[in-house]
Structure 1
Amino acid sequence: MMQESYSFQVLQYPFAHSYKNSALYNTEKFLGNYPTDAFYRLVMIKNNTTYAQVNLHIRQNEALNAVFSGFGGIEHELSDEMLQWFIQKLLDWCSEQQVLLLKLKLPAPFYVSNAIQTERILTDNRFEVLSDELNQHIVVSSEAYQAIIRKNERKRLRKCREAGFKFKQLSPGQLQEAYELIKDNRLRRGFPVTMTFEALDKMYHNLPENYLLFGVYDKDRLIATAVSIRVSNEVLYNFYHGDAADYRSYSPVVMLLDGVYAYCQEKKIKYLDLGISSVNGEVNEGLLRFKRNCGCRTTSKKVMIRHLQE
């Protein structure tokens, strides 16, 4: 059997093995910033190389993936047969731990090349879709940003330029100012601020190469800002953005995206992820439309679950 050359191992934090092409959210340098009690990594190894991994927190009778991030999923480079074997081993281990519910947060498809394969094999193993949100991203190409956005957004970008606004990459020392702008913006629009300043500042301190800060200025005043995360070599995620209430007529977020897009071009980043535009399946039509006008394509972002010991 081909499986005989592979070994299935269950590791506890700190982990002895890691998948070589992990997204930031699945790495120890990210995960170590959060509680690691009852935290496991299940891996498939051959010749000391990790070919598959999934991270799980055990909470009562549930095995939860990506408790502290937008996604985790199963990272792998496996054939259908070997992925089936790995998932069966995963299910067997969960049963041994008396887990009643296994929950996996999958990445949007542009993050990994085998997203369709993974979802298909999970479905074959009686995983069900718990949630399916609309996720939007910009494909970064050699084209200028203004060439991929709608006419009205081009007008807004031109208006910002004519007003003399300037895009800048900011230092972590400017995070407090940026955070207050984001906080005011989100509260005004009725959205929660999911991280405290202290928690976000900790991530900038511990992961300076991954947590980036951008802004648009009118002279000395910050009027739009974005907290961005380098999730992988190919993806920059726009975690938070916001603009000043009295500058809404300019829509400086369009200039902000123009600058971040140019940063992605410079760093050879393929995708700029602007995140979900629905919550619990309820679409925010205004947000969806704005992102489309700003050059976004739409995909799905799923959470899949499997009930055990039925």
Structure 2
Amino acid sequence: MAYQFISSYNFSFIPTSEFNFTRFFFNEPEHLRQQAGEEVYTFYWKNLENQLLEARFSVIILDEKGFSPLRATFGGIEFSEVLPKESLTAFIQSAFCALPKLESLQITFCPESYLSMNQRQVLDFCFEKLSFKHCAVDQNFEIAITDLSFYETIKSSRHKQLLRKAVKNTFFFREEKEPDLALLHAFITRSRVRKNRNMTMTLVDLRQRVKLFPDNFNFFSVSHEQKIIAVGVTVKITEEILYTFYLADDEDYLKFSPTIYLISGIYEFCQRNNFKLLDLGIATEKGIINEGLAQFKKRLGAKMSLKKSFFYDFENK
């Protein structure tokens, strides 16, 4: 089967052909433009028989190094479930040849739960063939959205008790359809500072993202007696995958664990809007596990999948 390799520099080419694979929000041109960097190369693999695009791969250049992504949760190579491993290998090799001279390339892929078993096997083949090296393997946690209630999904009796207590104490969950971004950003920042975690987005950045991508960002809160005690920000990755970008809570309410009630509300939001997967994010930092966070997510019914980052050293090839 014949394929056409298409190279786009700084979005000089935006395809009009149909894609034969699931496209992820973080790899769309509109989001890539927001990740800064010096240059952006995007490569496409077009099936000349059916005229469908079978693969896409973007690399952002900064200081003679390549990144996919530069500033996002993941980047990586998107491709069709029916694309043969030899063909995907040829596509990646063509991309390498089309890139300018680089010192290295780092790629962080989506969690493996986003991919079919066949796609995982094809990727493993390609990276072994091309001698990529793991630079990190993180543990990601996702909850499958089913007809079961969130209460039934929870694995821990203690977490079920905390959910019942939230209802008894008349905690109030709502989607913030007209969010006060300054208020919510300040709340999230306080929560992250308490946990010794850096804030990854300024208020200016958040305002810009929401303005650019109003259909991808959603805001949620849990209140008690008019006081906000938990906040969630989600990002729509696909029509079936919702990612929890920020989860934050009030220190004074930790004994009630309001995040459980918050996630319960987001889970029900997913049910109403036909999402199939709620991604709670990683419980590791550069491969180092946070056992407490991992256990918390498991007890909510989340299952673990691997989120891999690879490194390719051009100078030693």
Structure-1 separation of matches of 2:302 and 2:275: 15
SS at match of 1:194: coil
1:55 & 1:172 partners in 2: Cα distance? 33
**Out of 164, 167, 173, which is 2:173 matched to?**
167
Match of 1:80 in 2: 85
What secondary structure sits across from 1:286 in the alignment?
helix
Supply the distance in 1 between the matched residues of 2:103 and 2:193 (Cα, whole angstroms).
Answer: 37
Shift of 1:13: 2.7
The residue aligned with 1:236 is: 242
2:183 to 171, 174, 177: 177
- 2-side partners of 1:111 and 1:143: how far apart? 21
SS of residue in 2 equivalent to 1:173: coil
The answer to whether structure 1 residue 262 and structure 2 residue 268 are counterparts is: yes
Match of 1:194 among 196, 200, 212: 200
- Equivalent in the alignment of 1:7: 4
Query: What is the CA–CA distance in structure 2 between the aligned matches of 1:89 and 1:116, rounded to whole Å?
Result: 20
The gaps in structure 2 that reach 5 residues or longer are none
Whole-angstrom distance in 2 between the partners of 1:80 and 1:37: 31
**TM-score, length of structure 1 as denominator length:** 0.94
**How does 1:1-310 map onto structure 2 within 5 Å?**
2=1, 5-14=2-11, 15-17=13-15, 20=19, 21-35=22-36, 37-47=38-48, 48-77=51-80, 78-94=83-99, 97-113=100-116, 114-149=119-154, 150-310=156-316
Aligned-partner Cα distance in 1 for 2:148–2:211 = 34
> CA-atom RMSD, angstroms?
1.6
Aligned mates of 2:165, 2:95 — CA distance in 1: 55
1:36 Cα deviation from its structure 2 partner:
6.0
Q: TM-score, normalised by structure 2?
A: 0.92
Are 1:214 and 1:227, in contact at CA under 8 Å, matched by a contact in 2?
yes
> Counterpart amino acid of 1:148?
T
Query: What is the CA distance between 1:265 and its match in structure 2?
Result: 0.8
Q: Percent of aligned pairs with the same residue?
A: 26
Q: Which runs of no fewer than 5 residues in structure 1 stay unpaired?
A: none
Cα deviation, residue 159, structure 1: 0.5
Q: Is the 8 A contact 2:219 2:233 kept in 1?
A: yes
**What CA distance in whole angstroms lies between the structure 2 residues aligned with 1:82 and 1:116?**
14
Matched-pair contact (CA < 8 Å) for 1:109–1:116: no
**How far 1:172 moved relative to its partner?**
4.2
Contact 1:106–1:301, Cα closer than 8 Å, also in 2: yes
SS at match of 1:249: helix
In structure 2, distance between residues paired with 1:119 and 1:106: 12
Q: 1:107 to 1:224 in 2, by over 3 A?
A: same
Give SS of 1:16's match: coil
Paired residue type of 1:107: C
